[in-house]
Amino acid sequence: KRDWNINVDELLEASVHFGHKMKKWNPKMEPYIIPKCRTRSRSHLINFVKTAQYLSEACDLVFTAARWNEEFLIVGTNKKVADSVFEAAIRAQCHYVNDKWFSGMLTNWSTTKIILSKFRKLRIKEKIGGLKPRDASILKRQLCHFERALEGIKYMRRLPDFVIIIDQQKNYTALRECKILGIPTISLIDTNSDPDLAF
């Protein structure tokens, strides 16, 4: 075990302890909520000590997997976290999806590989140039469509070994595909999520 220097004060400052409104909560989250404690807006408060503990365990897992050169995929399609997902993935040199998750991206991997290959060929075609203006315009439009969805996984040659999912509710399709394929996931969840799906 390593010391990840997870500071509870920093977690509080980042407001990670604020959950959803009480009427939207998932009862399975009860062990992770501070009992009989609510805010003025009638939201649950998440137990930040447990948050720090699980965050430390997740860091241990990621560190060990990275030492074995395992492939990671970070998924966060919420507009609020899209830039952070991009920056974290670039820094960690791993794959990412931060715009839209296309159904079957992992479960229909054979088709995804063909699409990625086509995307790479179109990029080479664009770099070579020498196309007629009309053809260049069509190519640019095709590339724009592909880049939105595939930019973060363009170099992915096989299924990832681990998937880190930001916001389980928003990215439920990605989580479900990982469960079907048996790919381990690390999920950031809120009080409206199902913790049983996060492991």
Place of tokens 């939207």: 24
Q: Is the pLDDT of residue 38 over 60?
A: no
With a pLDDT cut of 90, the percent of the chain lying above it is 36
Assess whether 29 and 61 both reside in one domain: yes
pLDDT computed for residue 143 by the predictor: 87
Q: Do residue 78 and residue 100 come from a single domain?
A: yes
Residues 129 and 177 in one domain: yes
Same domain, yes or no, for 30 and 107? no
Please check whether residues 44 and 75 belong to one and the same domain: no
The pTM (predicted TM-score) of the whole model is 0.85
Q: Are residues 115 and 64 in the same domain?
A: no
Domain span at 84 = 70-198
Q: What is the pLDDT of residues 83-133, one digit of tens each?
A: 999 999 999 999 999 988 989 999 999 999 999 998 888 888 888 887 888
What is the model's pLDDT at position 109?
A: 95
Task: Considering only CA atoms, give the Rg of the chain.
Answer: 20
Q: Residue 2 has what pLDDT?
A: 61
Phi-psi region of 188 (alpha: psi -120 to 50; beta: other; left: phi over 0): beta
